[in-house]
Amino acid sequence: MPHDTFVLPLLDADEAAALLNIPRATLDSWLATGRVLVPHLRLSAKTIRFDRRELDVWIRERSAAATAALAERRSRRAR
């Protein structure tokens, strides 16, 4: 095997749920319903993995969007 093989920092569903600070059942529900679009890799019918870096970006983006939405609501109230 070449020494320059790149291995992604993949998490399983339990690890991803822990990173997101949500119950595993919530993550499973989001994935099943598509209600919340969590970035993931479906490796087989029963195997899902999560790229840690993609989850970190997704968390930052959702946090920024939530902060902007909160600021907008506060701005409307102040008028």
Domain residue limits, the chain: 10-78
What is the per-residue pLDDT for 13? 96
Total-model pTM = 0.74
Q: Are 27 and 37 in contact (CB under 8 A)?
A: no
State both tokens at 27.
């993550």
Token readout for 39 is 């970035």
Question: Topology of 10-78 in CATH?
Answer: Arc Repressor Mutant, subunit A (1.10.10)
DSSP structural state of residue 44: S
Low-confidence stretches of the chain (pLDDT beneath 50): 1
Secondary-structure breakdown of the chain: helix, strand, coil percentages, each rounded to the nearest 5: 55, 10, 35
